[in-house]
Amino acid sequence: ETGVTQTPRHLVMGMTNKKSLKCEQHLGHNAMYWYKQSAKKPLELMFVYNFKEQTENNSVPSRFSPECPNSSHLFLHLHTLQPEDSALYLCASSQAADTQYFGPGTRLTVL
C-alpha cells in the first residue's frame, strides 16, 4: 500500500534535538491528519488539515508543530520533546469526511 507514505520510519532523538516527520499522500485527498498511538491506548487525533488549513488542534503541546504546504504533504516538526512523547506517529488522509487511509507510521523514541 503506497497511497500514504511516511518518512522516516524510525527516529531516535534526544530531548534537545529538532526533527521533522514527513507525510505524503498520493490519493488526491483534501484532508490530512496526524495521530499518536501509544502502547495500550487508543489512537489520539492530534491535528486535522482541510485544503491546507488547520481545522483541528486536539490540545497538542506546542513542542509539536504541524505544517501543511499543500493538500498532498504534511509535516510534523518536533522540538524539545519528552520521553513520554515516544510513540508511533501516524499520518492519514481522506476525501472530506470519508474513509481515512493511514500511512505506515514513524516509530519515535525520545531519549
Partner 1 sequence: EDQVTQSPEALRLQEGESSSLNCSYTVSGLRGLFWYRQDPGKGPEFLFTLYSAGEEKEKERLKATLTKKESFLHITAPKPEDSATYLCAVQFLETSGSRLTFGEGTQLTVNP
Cβ distance 46 to 21 under 8 Å? no
Interface with partner 1 in residues 13-72 (CB under 8 A): 31, 33, 40-43, 45, 48, 50, 55-56
Cβ distance 11 to 105 under 8 Å? no
Q: Cell digits for 28?
A: 488526491
86 binds partner 1 per the rule CB under 8 A? no
Closer to partner 1 at the Cβ: 60 or 88? 88
Interface with partner 1 in residues 91-110 (CB under 8 A): 92, 94, 96-97, 99-105, 107
Torsion angle (degrees, nearest 10) of CA 49, 35, 100, 106: 110
Determine how β-strand 10-13 pairs with β-strand 106-110.
Answer: parallel
Phi, psi angles (nearest 5°) of residue 84: -70, -5
State in angstroms the smallest separation of the CB of 6 from partner 1.
8
State in angstroms the smallest separation of the CB of 80 from partner 1.
26
Binding site for partner 1 (CB under 8 A): 1, 4, 6, 31, 33, 40-43, 45, 48, 50, 55-56, 88, 90, 92, 94, 96-97, 99-105, 107
